[in-house]
């Protein structure tokens, strides 16, 4: 079986795609002098490799961008890559709403001038028991929260995906109640691991990956990392989250990766890393227990799954 030429040499694979990727040197040179509407992504393989945890290797650009759950573009894993061509991620704005001192509509281009784009290599674990390792570029969600200046009554944040049925064919059908919504507790949202991503592999996010701006919360199942965010609402009560509303017994609000609490359909004890033959053992909090375990101290994780 021909598994993974990409897994052995992901960089080679990546280089092949350089025609769509700004050269890393050129990008470094123009960094700071914001040229386009999007962030300037530095693509540097050494940075990615330095951030890789032991036993992990990067998934290829192709793997990451052709196997997606993004029902706005269809339910199949390859649908998002195939059906997202009409989606226009620029220009883009995000509205900050709710219990904050600075409600505003942020222009993404302007926003990106005021943040530093960082590289973050994270494992992504889907609730369907598959996983990937992805070199994201983005900035901490905390930066936007600071701009919003939440009131002390704001305990949770809700995120909303854009609703554009003309550009997102899946939204023409009632696959899910649209728009897709997700949420985090304030301390989860402020956690330094939580980022808003604008790119991966040094390339602006492709539409199927949630262009132009998506959440990445690496210790939670992938569906929490909402894509193509159009608004961020600060609220005082635990907000609705799409999957959790749809099947509360299957998807909890927290949805932290937990190898000990099984989903009724998938054992969460193991996972298939895309590109690998044998399953891996799933790690508590997707391997980020040291960083995030304290957030859930004293909570019954069987009740708050």
Partner 1 sequence: MISTQLFKKIKPLIFFAIFLPSLFWSYQFINGALGVNPIEKLMDNMGEMALRLIVLTLFISSLSEFKKFRFLIEVRRMIGLFAFFYVTCHFLIYIALDHFFDMTFIIKDIIKRPFITFGFISFIFLIPLAITSPKIILKKLGFKVWKKIHYLIYPAAILSSVHFYMLVRANKIEPAIYIFLILVLLVYRLYCKIIYPQLVR
Q: What residues make contact with partner 1 under the rule CB under 8 A?
A: 1-3, 5, 62-63, 66-67, 71, 75, 77-78, 128, 130, 173-176, 246, 262, 264-267, 269-270, 272, 274-275, 277-279
**Cα(124)–Cα(131) distance, integer angstroms:** 5
CB 166 → partner 1: shortest distance, Å? 20
CB 64 → partner 1: shortest distance, Å? 9
Pick between residue 60 and residue 207 the one whose CB is nearest to partner 1. Answer: 60
With vertex at residue 209, the alpha carbon angle to CA 203 and CA 213, rounded to the nearest 5 degrees, is: 75
CB 226 → partner 1: shortest distance, Å? 16
CB 262 → partner 1: shortest distance, Å? 7
Pick between residue 100 and residue 283 the one whose CB is nearest to partner 1. Answer: 283
Cα dihedral 103, 212, 186, 72 sign: positive
Residue 20: CB atoms within 10 Å: 9
**Cα(234)–Cα(53) distance, integer angstroms:** 34
CB 63 → partner 1: shortest distance, Å? 4
CB 180 → partner 1: shortest distance, Å? 11
Pick between residue 130 and residue 219 the one whose CB is nearest to partner 1. Answer: 130
Pick between residue 77 and residue 164 the one whose CB is nearest to partner 1. Answer: 77
Pick between residue 11 and residue 266 the one whose CB is nearest to partner 1. Answer: 266
Pick between residue 22 and residue 125 the one whose CB is nearest to partner 1. Answer: 125
């Amino acid at each position: 079986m021909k598994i993974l030429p990409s897994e052995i040499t992901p960089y080679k694979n990546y280089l092949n795609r350089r025609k769509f990727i700004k050269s890393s040197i050129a990008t470094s040179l123009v960094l700071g002098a914001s040229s386009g509407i999007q962030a300037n992504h530095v693509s540097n393989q050494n940075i990615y490799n330095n951030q890789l945890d032991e036993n992990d290797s990067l998934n290829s650009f192709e793997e990451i961008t052709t196997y997606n759950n993004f029902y706005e573009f269809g339910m199949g894993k390859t649908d998002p890559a195939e059906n997202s061509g009409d989606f226009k991620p620029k220009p883009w704005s995000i509205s900050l709403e709710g219990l904050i001192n600075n409600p505003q509509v942020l222009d993404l281009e302007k926003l990106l001038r005021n943040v530093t784009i960082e590289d973050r290599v994270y494992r992504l674990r889907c609730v369907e028991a598959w996983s990937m390792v992805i070199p994201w570029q983005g900035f901490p969600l905390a930066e936007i929260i600071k701009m919003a200046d939440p009131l002390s009554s704001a305990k949770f944040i809700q995120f909303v995906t854009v609703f554009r049925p003309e550009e997102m064919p899946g939204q023409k059908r009632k696959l899910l109640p649209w728009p897709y919504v997700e949420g985090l507790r304030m301390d989860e949202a402020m956690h330094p691991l939580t980022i808003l991503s604008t790119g991966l592999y040094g390339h602006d996010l492709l539409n199927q990956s949630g262009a132009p701006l998506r959440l990445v919360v690496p210790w939670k199942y992938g569906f929490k990392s909402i894509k193509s965010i159009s608004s961020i609402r600060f609220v005082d009560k635990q907000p609705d989250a799409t999957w959790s509303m749809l099947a509360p017994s299957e998807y909890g609000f927290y949805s932290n990766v937990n190898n000990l609490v099984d989903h009724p359909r998938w054992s969460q004890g193991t996972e298939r890393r895309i590109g690998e033959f044998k399953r891996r053992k799933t790690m508590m909090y997707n391997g980020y227990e040291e960083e995030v375990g304290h957030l859930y101290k004293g909570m019954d994780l069987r009740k708050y799954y």
